[in-house]
Amino acid sequence: MTALSLKQANQIINTAIHVARELNLAPLTVVVLDTAGHLKAMQREDGATVIRQQIAIAKAWGAVNMGVSSRSLAAVAEKKPEFMNALVSISDGKIMPVPGGVLIRDAENKLLGAVGISGDVSEQDERCAIAGIEGVGFFASV
């Protein structure tokens, strides 16, 4: 399996932030996690609040550890709130079931990690995550 390099992780972040600036979004925090949910790279734009880092990590961590996007986890939370509450509890609050956590896949559909973004509305966070992933030539799994 191809491993996600630091260079690729930084390119994902730079592309996501570039798209956010083109769209005039609120300041973002962007994280890239590896397949084990460990931090590979992170940037917090000037003006982004400090808690955005924890939110972005929780979006990506939930996605990579559950094998689905945080958008998909939001759908689960709507249909099965008791399950999601239990999942958040047993993960010590490391899961945020709202859009903005997107899986990174290679051309063979192998999981490489996840991107988590927080700062603007969740749909825009997700839009920037997808742009960052696709900008490097990988595939975004939402």
Q: How far is CA 124 from CA 37, 54, 132, in A?
A: 23, 18, 12
Query: What local confidence, expressed as pLDDT, does residue 59 receive?
Result: 98
pTM, two decimal places: 0.95
- Within 10 angstroms of residue 28's Cβ, the number of other Cβ atoms is 27
Contact 11, 135 (CB under 8 A): yes
Helix (H, G, I), strand (E, B) or coil at 21: helix
Contact 43, 18 (CB under 8 A): no
Select 6-141's CATH number: 3.40.140.10, 3.40.50.1000, 3.30.450.150, 3.30.1240.10: 3.30.450.150
Length of the chain: 142
Q: What are the pLDDT tens digits along the chain (142 aa)?
A: 478 999 999 999 999 999 999 999 999 999 999 999 999 999 999 999 999 999 999 999 999 999 999 999 999 999 999 999 999 999 999 999 999 999 999 999 999 999 999 999 999 999 999 999 999 999 999 8
